[in-house]
Amino acid sequence: MKSITFASGTIVTGTAVAEALVDFVSGMSGAVTSASIDIPVQEDDGSVAVHTIVLGSAVQFDIADIDGGEPDDDEKARFPVPEMPDVNMVAVIPTDEVDLEADNFNRAIADMDSVLDDPT
Do 12 and 43 contact (CB within 8 A), yes or no? no
Cα 98 from Cα 109, distance rounded (Å) = 17
Cα 48 from Cα 46, distance rounded (Å) = 7
* DSSP reduced 3-state for 10: strand
pTM, entire model:
0.68
Condensed to tens digits (0 to 9), the pLDDT of residues 34-89 reads 888 999 999 999 999 999 998 887 788 999 999 877 778 889 999 999 988 876 65
